[in-house]
Amino acid sequence: MLDIASLTELLAQPQKIVITTHHKPDGDAMGSSLGLYHYLIQQGHHTTVITPTDYPQFLNWMPGDEDVIIYTDHTAEAAKLIAEARIIFCLDFNALSRINEMGVLVGESDAVKILIDHHLEPEDFDDYRYWDINACATAQLVYKFIVEELNHKKLVNKDVATCLYTGIMTDSASFALPNTTPEVHRIAADLMDAGAVNWQIYDRVYNNASENRLRFLGVCLSERLEVLYEYNTAIIAVSKQDLEKYDIITGDTEGIVNYALSISGIRLAVFIVERSDKVKLSLRSKGEFPANDICKKYFNGGGHRNAAGGCSNDSLEQVIEKIKLIIPEYKKLLIH
């Protein structure tokens, strides 16, 4: 493993750098990636953010978005940049499978690989690791990496601050999750001092829905919500037909699971969506309930204790039935 002194020496000269993050990037993935991008270009590095797939339109306003390369849209160009990179930053993911086909290219690359992440059990593919499962967001770790490891707080300008604040805000559920520590608030304050406009960022992320998305949300809550009060659990399941009817695009389903979790007394919320290739699940929980345990054991996934995801090749109906069979195993934790 590379030490910080060697890494600092490597970064002292302009390098060809690629930053990448997980497929279907969320606010933290894009916020941490673009925040790091704006830091690195100030030092003259030839830096490119490459995402494995597209990402929600409500993140397109972020500074630097116009320079992002989407691998599925520009495969040859992205592959060339990865092959030529001297350094590859891997942000907000713990396994190369999380970047789809790009995982092979990154794994085979001779570039120095730097992992900055807060997910459990990272694979051993990196040369330098800045990792903390207690961090509320990878953007929090990128801030600490720049400020504490590289001692470059002066380079946290408005663009860096705006992107990192977005990542922290979205992954902490607007500073509402248990891992939103006093340190997180201090970092958020530092980012505001550096130019991040908190109310404006919130407005651009959360008050940016299409009419279709709002109507789809109404259907999810009025027709697709099932509450299992005996297990303090709520489930929302939507089909491919639902997605097609409302012309749902990337990002439109994000956050819907939290509406189920907002019901009084609910400790576990499950959002199940039937995609074209598989059925995907998003789980959210309160307190000590291990949402990640269910995803890891039964749905080829994982994540954090209170926020996790998984997938299945079974039908939508089979996944719903499977969840209902699994939940009673956790009854003691759910009704505690």
Stretch 226-236: mean pLDDT: 98
Query: For 255-291, what is each residue's pLDDT tens digit?
Result: 999 999 999 999 999 999 999 889 999 999 999 999 9
Query: For 103-132, what is each residue's pLDDT tens digit?
Result: 999 999 999 999 999 998 899 999 999 999
Considering the domain architecture, whether residues 173 and 240 belong to the same structural domain is answered as no
Considering the domain architecture, whether residues 41 and 148 belong to the same structural domain is answered as yes
Stretch 27-45: mean pLDDT: 98
Query: For 44-88, what is each residue's pLDDT tens digit?
Result: 999 999 999 999 999 999 999 999 999 999 999 999 999 999 999
**Closest C-alpha to 39, from 148, 144, 159:** 159
Find out whether 93 and 21 touch, Cβ atoms under 8 Å: yes
Considering the domain architecture, whether residues 193 and 158 belong to the same structural domain is answered as yes
Confidence class of residue 1 from pLDDT cuts 50, 70 and 90? confident
Mean pLDDT across the chain:
96
Indicate which CATH number applies to the domain containing 21: 3.90.1640.10
Find out whether 90 and 126 touch, Cβ atoms under 8 Å: yes
Considering the domain architecture, whether residues 284 and 199 belong to the same structural domain is answered as no
Considering the domain architecture, whether residues 146 and 215 belong to the same structural domain is answered as no
Confidence class of residue 170 from pLDDT cuts 50, 70 and 90? very high
Q: Nearest 5°: phi and psi at 46? A: -85, 95
Considering the domain architecture, whether residues 198 and 258 belong to the same structural domain is answered as no
Q: State whether residue 25 is helix, strand or coil.
A: coil
277/151 Cα distance (integer angstroms): 45
Find out whether 168 and 187 touch, Cβ atoms under 8 Å: yes
**Hey, how many other C-beta atoms are within 10 angstroms of the C-beta on 208?**
15
> How many separate domains does the chain show?
2
In this prediction, residue 336 carries a pLDDT of 72
145/9 Cα distance (integer angstroms): 15
Query: For 186-205, what is each residue's pLDDT tens digit?
Result: 999 999 999 999 999 999 99
Instruction: Annotate 99-168 with DSSP letters as a single string.
Output: GTTHHHHHHH--SEEEEEE-SSS--S--SEEEE-TT-S-HHHHHHHIIIIIS--GGG--HHHHHHHHHHH
Considering the domain architecture, whether residues 306 and 324 belong to the same structural domain is answered as yes
Q: Nearest 5°: phi and psi at 87? A: -135, 140
Stretch 139-147: mean pLDDT: 98
pLDDT above 90 (res 141): yes
Considering the domain architecture, whether residues 137 and 180 belong to the same structural domain is answered as yes
**Domain final position from 160, 176, 206:** 206
Stretch 124-145: mean pLDDT: 97
Considering the domain architecture, whether residues 224 and 249 belong to the same structural domain is answered as yes
Considering the domain architecture, whether residues 233 and 201 belong to the same structural domain is answered as no
pLDDT above 90 (res 310): yes
Q: Is the model's pTM score more than 0.85?
A: yes
pLDDT above 90 (res 2): no
Considering the domain architecture, whether residues 31 and 172 belong to the same structural domain is answered as yes
Considering the domain architecture, whether residues 77 and 150 belong to the same structural domain is answered as yes
In this prediction, residue 332 carries a pLDDT of 95
- Tell me the residue range of the domain where 43 lies: 4-206
Please give the share of the chain, as a percent, with pLDDT higher than 70: 100
**Hey, how many other C-beta atoms are within 10 angstroms of the C-beta on 318?**
12
In this prediction, residue 286 carries a pLDDT of 94
